[in-house]
């Protein structure tokens, strides 16, 4: 029994106050932080831009754009920016992970991104052409080919 005048203790897991004479046994009625995080989810939509918050990705500043969402609860994403060199790749990420604010930070909503489906193809082509010795002509040629314009130009013109 609790001695008279003894203050109640605080549960270390959930911050719940409980009487000093009760046993804890690792269970609390209060919600844990992981349960609170699960409630703080958001809707994932095509076109949204996310930053990967994994420990190994923070320094790389990896940014992913959702390009499609499959029936298997995975989203096809396009790596738009990555200091680690995986720009242009298309990883498949669980929608539940993208919806978690602790794992991915939402940078731009879908309405802020271009809706033209050629945007991803153009971005991938320019990313593929990018390099230390890339010239403006390399970028222009990559964009020209990505948009399917190679047969529309007059090859005889200067």
- The reported pLDDT for the residue numbered 53 is 93
- The reported pLDDT for the residue numbered 31 is 47
Where is pLDDT greater, at 82 or 35?
A: 82
Domain parsing of the chain, residue ranges: 49-112, 114-152
SS3 50: strand
The mean pLDDT of the chain is 75
Q: Is the pLDDT of residue 23 over 60?
A: no
Residue 111 DSSP label: G
Q: Is the pLDDT of residue 24 over 60?
A: no
Where is pLDDT greater, at 32 or 98?
A: 98
In whole angstroms, how far apart are CA 11 and each of 4, 33, 95? 20, 13, 33
Q: Kindly give, in sequence order, each residue whose CB lies less than 8 Å from that of residue 106, ignoring residues fewer than 6 positions away.
A: 42, 48, 49, 50
Tell me what the mean pLDDT of segment 137-155 comes to: 81
Q: Is the pLDDT of residue 81 over 50?
A: yes
Residues in the chain, overall count: 158
Q: Is the pLDDT of residue 29 over 50?
A: no
User: Among 97, 112, 110, 119, which Cα is nearest to 52's?
Assistant: 97
Could you tell me where the DSSP H helices lie in 3-117? 33-39, 55-58, 95-98
Tell me what the mean pLDDT of segment 8-33 comes to: 49
SS3 127: helix
Could you tell me where the DSSP H helices lie in the chain? 33-39, 55-58, 95-98, 118-129, 136-146
Q: Is the pLDDT of residue 93 over 90?
A: yes
Q: How confident is the model at residue 112 (pLDDT cuts 50, 70, 90)?
A: low
- The reported pLDDT for the residue numbered 98 is 92
Between CA 138 and CA 157 the distance in angstroms is: 19
Q: How confident is the model at residue 17 (pLDDT cuts 50, 70, 90)?
A: low
- The reported pLDDT for the residue numbered 51 is 93
- The reported pLDDT for the residue numbered 16 is 52
Between CA 31 and CA 14 the distance in angstroms is: 7
């Amino acid at each position: 029994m609790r001695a008279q005048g003894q203050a109640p203790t605080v549960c270390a897991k959930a911050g719940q106050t409980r009487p000093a004479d009760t046993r804890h046994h690792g269970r609390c009625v209060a919600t844990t932080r992981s349960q609170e995080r699960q409630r703080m989810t958001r809707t994932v939509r095509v076109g949204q831009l996310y930053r990967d918050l994994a420990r190994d990705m923070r320094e790389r500043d990896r940014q992913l754009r959702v390009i499609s969402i499959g029936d298997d609860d995975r989203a096809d994403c396009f790596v738009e920016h990555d200091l680690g060199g995986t720009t242009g790749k298309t990883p498949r990420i669980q929608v539940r992970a993208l919806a978690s604010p602790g794992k991915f930070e939402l940078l731009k909503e879908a309405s802020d991104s271009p809706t033209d489906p050629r945007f991803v193809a153009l971005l991938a082509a320019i990313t593929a052409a990018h390099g230390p010795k890339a010239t403006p002509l390399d970028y222009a040629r990559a964009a020209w080919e990505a948009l399917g314009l190679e047969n529309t130009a007059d090859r005889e013109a200067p």
